[in-house]
Structures are given as structure tokens and as C-alpha cells.
């Protein structure tokens, strides 16, 4: 009787363990079978090695062991292209780095056509960057970056289209010039600024000379205006520095003319007094 009870307890424990193990296996199978695919993702499914298609977004059911899946992100990817040594068309060696932006528009092509599309885009961007920049001069590289960005983007987009990839933008970040060339360009810029300053100064002197010539012509036609200008200048100097200015041009004939004018005024005053006295008598 005791043996029977022990046997029943052992079987109960065995069944309990078996049920728990079955539940755990079922949970694992369900966890693998039910996949939640986000809005920006697609699930490429292979069943027994054959392509089934791209599923998502939402709940996707996968058969364990039989199905293999690969997740593809549809958001924009960023590739940081490291510095590339480029020799321009005019034989100047520069270092250039860039950034490439792309997205996957066909997840099936991205999985079936190329093994690692992100690595492929990065390598293709490096070679295209060197090829395109090697066909332009240094001046064009420095002044026409926007056109070069669009040109590289167009080439990359054409090359990656069979992979199901769309290159949306390419941006050249930095162009590093040799140190000797940087110094030469700085000297050239300084010389150009000096030349422009000289041109502006010469233009100012030409305009000033033209104005002065016009003023000299007017003073020649109107000597009184010249004299008034001289007196005005002397008055301004005396006022500014609190000085008494002796004007040499009043010596000689001008002094005698001034004295004659004063004598005539005195004589006229005496005649007026005599006339008024006779009238009173």
C-alpha cells in the first residue's frame, strides 16, 4: 500500500514536470513564431531556403525551424566616408571626407542582390568620391561644392538602384589643403586685398582732384569768393584754438585804402556838424 502511494506521487511529479516543460516549449515556439514588425521595418522571410516575401508592419507569424527571417530598416542610413586622398586635375593633393544619406526602398532587392548593402554603399561612396573629385580643378572643388555633391549623389543613386537603395544626399564635409598651398593662398588673398585698397584710394584721389579742379575754376572766375573762403578758414582756425590771427594780405594798398575810407568818413562828419551849427544861428 505504501509502495503504491509512492508510485502515484512519483508519476504525479513526472507529469507535472512534463507539463511544465511542454508549456515552456510552447511559449518558446510562440515567441519565435509571433514577430512584431515596426512601421519602419520589413521582415524578409525564407522558407526552406526559398524566398516567401517581405512582411510587415504589424504581427507576422513565422514557422519555427522552417522559416528564416531578416529584418530590413527602411529609415535613412548615414554613412560617414573617411578622409580620402585625392589628386585634382591640376595635380594638387587634398584630403576630402563626406557624408552619404540613403534609404532602402525595396527590402527584397537589398537582401537578395548584395550581402551587406551598408558596407557596399560605404565602399562605393569612397571610390566615387575619388573619381569625381579627381576630374575637377582645385578652384572648382572649393567654389562648386553644391554641384559636386549633386553629381556624386546622382552617380551613387544610379549604381545602387539595382540594390533597392535610394541615395538621397551627399555632402562634402571638409577639404584639407597642403600647408604650403594654404600659405600661398593666404598671400594671394592679402595681395588681392592690397590691390583693391589701392584701387579705392586712387579712385578717391581722382574724384577729389576733379572736385578741387572745379573749385579752382570757380575761384578763378570769382576772386571775391576765394577771399571769403580764406577769411572763413582763418575765422575757423581762430575760433577752434582761441587765437588772434594776423592776416598779411591787409598790408600795403589795402591798409591805405582803409585809411582813406576812414578820413573821408571824418570829413563828412565835420561838414554835417558845421551845417547844423549855421542853421541854429
**Domain parsing of the chain, residue ranges:** 2-72, 77-177
> In terms of Cα–Cα distance, which of 109, 124, 220 is closest to 165?
109
Residue 151: pLDDT over 80: yes
* pLDDT (average), residues 10-23: 83
Q: Write down the pLDDT at residue 263.
A: 52
Instruction: Name the H helices within the chain.
Output: 2-33, 107-112, 117-133, 138-143, 145-160, 179-221, 223-241, 253-280
Is the predicted pLDDT of residue 179 greater than 70, yes or no? yes
Q: Which residues lie across from 69 on neighbouring strands?
A: 45
pLDDT tens digit sequence for 20-36: 888 888 887 777 788 88
Q: What is the pLDDT of residue 2?
A: 44
Q: What is the pLDDT of residue 261?
A: 45
pLDDT at 249: 53
Q: Who wins on pLDDT, 61 or 2?
A: 61
In the block, which residue shows the cell 526559398? Answer: 50
**pLDDT tier for residue 255 given thresholds of 50, 70 and 90:** very low
The pLDDT of residue 267 is: 56
What pLDDT is stored for residue 191 in this prediction? 72
The residues with which 98 forms a beta bridge, in sequence order, are: 81, 172
* Phi and psi at residue 134, to the nearest 5°: -75, -10
**Domain 77-177 is classified in which CATH homologous superfamily?**
Band 7 domain (3.30.479.30)
What is residue 231's predicted lDDT score, i.e. its pLDDT? 63
What pLDDT does 63 receive?
87
CB-CB contact of 84 with 61 (8 Å): no
pLDDT(164) > 80: yes
pLDDT for the residue numbered 181: 63
Predicted pLDDT at 252: 46
What pLDDT, on the 0 to 100 scale, is given for residue 272?
A: 52
Q: Which helix (H) or strand (E) holds 76?
A: none
Does 176 have pLDDT greater than 70? yes
- N- to C-terminal Cα separation, the chain: 186
Higher pLDDT: 243 or 167? It is 167
* Alpha carbons 192 and 175: distance in angstroms, whole number: 23
CB 103 within 8 A of CB 136: no
- What does the pLDDT read at residue 46? 95
Is 132's pLDDT higher than 90? yes
Give the mean pLDDT of the chain. 80
Mean pLDDT confidence for 42-61 = 92
Give the per-residue pLDDT at 251. Answer: 46
Q: Are 157 and 166 contacting, i.e. CB atoms less than 8 angstroms apart?
A: yes
Q: pLDDT value at position 223? A: 67
Q: What confidence category does residue 108 fall into, taking pLDDT thresholds of 50, 70 and 90?
A: very high
Which parts of 134-222 fold into alpha helices (H)?
A: 138-143, 145-160, 179-221
Percent of the chain with pLDDT over 90: 42
Tell which wins on pLDDT, 237 or 175: 175
Amino acid at each position: 500500500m505504501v509502495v503504491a502511494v509512492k508510485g502515484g506521487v512519483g508519476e504525479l511529479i513526472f507529469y507535472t514536470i512534463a507539463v511544465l516543460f511542454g508549456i515552456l516549449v510552447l511559449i518558446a515556439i510562440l515567441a519565435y513564431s509571433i514577430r512584431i514588425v515596426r512601421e519602419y521595418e520589413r521582415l524578409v522571410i525564407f522558407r526552406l531556403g526559398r524566398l516567401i516575401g517581405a512582411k510587415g508592419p504589424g504581427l507576422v507569424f513565422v514557422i519555427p525551424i522552417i522559416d528564416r527571417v531578416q529584418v530590413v530598416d527602411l529609415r535613412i542610413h548615414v554613412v560617414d566616408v573617411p578622409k580620402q586622398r585625392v589628386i585634382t586635375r591640376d595635380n594638387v593633393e587634398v584630403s576630402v571626407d563626406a557624408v552619404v544619406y540613403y534609404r532602402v526602398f525595396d527590402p527584397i532587392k537589398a537582401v537578395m542582390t548584395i550581402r551587406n548593402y551598408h558596407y557596399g554603399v560605404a565602399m562605393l561612396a569612397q571610390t566615387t568620391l575619388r573619381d569625381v573629385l579627381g576630374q575637377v580643378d582645385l578652384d572648382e572643388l572649393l567654389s562648386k561644392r553644391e554641384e559636386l555633391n549633386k553629381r556624386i549623389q546622382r552617380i551613387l543613386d544610379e549604381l545602387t538602384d539595382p540594390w533597392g537603395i535610394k541615395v538621397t544626399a551627399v555632402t562634402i564635409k571638409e577639404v584639407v589643403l597642403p600647408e604650403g598651398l594654404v600659405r600661398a593662398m593666404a598671400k594671394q588673398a592679402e595681395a588681392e586685398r592690397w590691390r583693391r585698397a589701392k584701387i579705392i584710394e586712387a579712385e578717391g584721389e581722382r574724384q577729389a582732384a576733379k572736385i578741387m579742379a572745379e573749385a579752382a575754376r570757380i575761384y578763378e572766375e570769382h576772386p571775391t569768393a576765394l577771399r571769403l573762403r580764406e577769411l572763413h578758414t582763418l575765422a575757423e582756425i581762430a575760433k577752434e584754438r582761441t587765437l588772434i590771427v594776423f592776416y598779411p594780405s591787409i598790408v600795403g594798398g589795402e591798409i591805405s585804402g582803409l585809411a582813406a575810407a576812414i578820413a573821408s568818413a571824418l570829413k563828412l562828419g565835420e561838414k554835417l556838424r558845421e551845417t547844423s551849427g549855421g542853421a541854429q544861428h
